């Protein structure tokens, strides 16, 4: 039946074309055509018909096309789902409120929900829940606005992708930490705050999956829902770069937000060293480091390392001072301002040395080194 329908359709198409597009030949041309056709009269070209694709293949193709078109809905749906689930968990008592008596060792106190081991906690009141909910929504919108302000100039050609990538790298995490005072002192507030880097990580996954393969086998930024982000953070135009350093960056921020938050300076120093230190090292090093490369690593420069130390130290000191001044984080006992700056300088110098090691990925090695050093020197 399908073949019969195709045949009827073909006949109707041919007849329609004949009725609208008949061309009359000149007699001389007709004579030439007749002679040519007579020479090829022995060659018969059979009529070949293709079988229409099965209905299940057509349906699958339709579903895939629909999913591709609806990719832009993945992040909003995930945001609504995670925020709703976290809010329900808070209202039903599954997230702890403010800590009353922390008596367990610091190790347990810093674990997610470690408050259950460290002593009693108050109830997560509706006022605190609404505060954390509002802070989460504000942080998500502010993050979208900031990233858009960095990606749009790349789209119009006023900023290079590598500069946009490092601007996002340098400022996104510190700006996020600056809004932590908007969250409450409930222990469960860290769960709300963790939604922000989680959504950014999801955006990077979508950006990395938006690549298309060219005829030469190269992957380029395609027409995915986050293709603008992929183009802005890609050095070479390969969208899969979003799944490298930028994705690790979000995972590190998610880890320290969820595990440390405002409990200790360890997370603050680790994130600031990774973001501000490493970001400024690249921005300054590419502009002023061409004549002062390190002998053992030609990809790094003295100017970049100096910018790393200054950025990591000032970023860490500024964020710690901000959180302690607003009462969000407890002051560091036994450390004066000069003592804090001196220890942050030691941490920054040692992490800059780790960043110079040609082996490994500094997106992992730098924050891990900063966490180990700050755990020893600041707690």
What digits encode the pLDDT tens for the residues 168-188? Answer: 889 999 999 999 999 999 989
Phi first, then psi: give them for residue 194, nearest 5 degrees: -70, -15
Token couple for 42: 């022995």
Token couple for 36: 């040519």
Where does the pLDDT of residue 20 fall: very low under 50, low under 70, confident under 90, or very high at 90 and above?
very low
The predicted pLDDT at position 102 comes to 56
The CA–CA distances, whole Å, from 211 to 224, 229, 333 equal 8, 12, 50
Q: Which residue has the higher pLDDT, 375 or 33?
A: 375
**Which residue is associated with the tokens 């403010």?**
98
Residue 61, number of CB atoms within 10 A of its CB: 11
Phi first, then psi: give them for residue 143, nearest 5 degrees: -65, -40
pTM for the predicted model, two decimal places: 0.75
Q: How far is CA 297 from the centre of its chain?
A: 29
Question: Taking Cα atoms as reference points, which of 149, 337, 104, 363 lies closest to residue 251?
Answer: 363
Task: Look at strands 219-221 and 211-213 and give their pairing.
Answer: antiparallel
pLDDT at 33 over 50: no
Where does the pLDDT of residue 244 fall: very low under 50, low under 70, confident under 90, or very high at 90 and above?
confident
Question: Taking Cα atoms as reference points, which of 292, 298, 228, 267 lies closest to residue 367?
Answer: 267
DSSP one-letter string for 310-353:
HHHHHHHHHHHHHHHHTTSSPPPTT--HHHHHHHHHHHHHHHHH
């Amino acid at each position: 039946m399908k073949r019969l329908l195709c045949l009827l359709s073909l006949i109707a198409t041919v007849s329609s074309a004949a009725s609208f597009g008949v061309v009359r030949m000149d007699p001389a041309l007709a004579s030439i055509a007749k002679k040519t056709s007579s020479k090829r009269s022995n060659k018969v070209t059979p009529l070949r018909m293709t079988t229409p694709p099965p209905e299940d293949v057509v349906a699958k193709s339709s579903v895939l096309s629909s999913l591709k078109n609806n990719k832009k809905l993945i992040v909003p749906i995930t945001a609504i789902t995670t925020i709703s689930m976290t809010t329900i968990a808070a209202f039903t008592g599954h997230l702890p409120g403010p800590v009353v008596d922390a008596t367990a060792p610091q190790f347990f106190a810093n674990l997610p929900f470690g408050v259950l081991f460290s002593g009693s906690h108050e109830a997560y009141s509706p006022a605190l829940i609404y505060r954390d909910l509002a802070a989460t929504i504000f942080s998500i919108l502010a993050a979208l606005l900031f990233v858009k302000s960095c990606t749009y100039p790349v789209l119009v050609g006023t900023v290079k992708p590598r500069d946009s990538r490092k601007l996002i790298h340098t400022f996104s995490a510190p700006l996020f930490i600056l809004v932590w005072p908007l969250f409450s002192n409930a222990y469960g507030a860290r769960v709300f705050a963790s939604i922000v880097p989680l959504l950014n990580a999801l955006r990077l996954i979508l950006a990395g999956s938006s690549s298309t393969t060219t005829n030469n086998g190269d992957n380029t930024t395609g027409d995915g829902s986050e293709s603008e982000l992929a183009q802005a953070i890609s050095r070479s135009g390969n969208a899969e770069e979003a799944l490298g350093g930028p994705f690790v960056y979000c995972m590190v921020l998610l880890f320290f937000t969820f595990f440390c938050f405002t409990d200790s300076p360890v997370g603050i120093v680790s994130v600031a060293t990774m973001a501000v230190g490493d970001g400024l090292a690249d921005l300054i090093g590419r502009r002023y480091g061409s004549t002062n490369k390190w002998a053992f690593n030609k990809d790094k420069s003295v100017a970049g390392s100096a910018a790393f130390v200054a950025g990591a130290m000032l970023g860490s000191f500024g964020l710690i001072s901000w959180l302690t001044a607003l009462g969000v984080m407890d002051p560091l006992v036994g450390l004066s301002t000069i003592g804090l700056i001196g220890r942050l300088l030691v941490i920054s110098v040692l992490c800059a040395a780790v960043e110079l090691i040609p082996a490994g990925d500094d997106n992992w090695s730098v924050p891990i080194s900063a966490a180990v050093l700050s755990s020893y020197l600041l707690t």
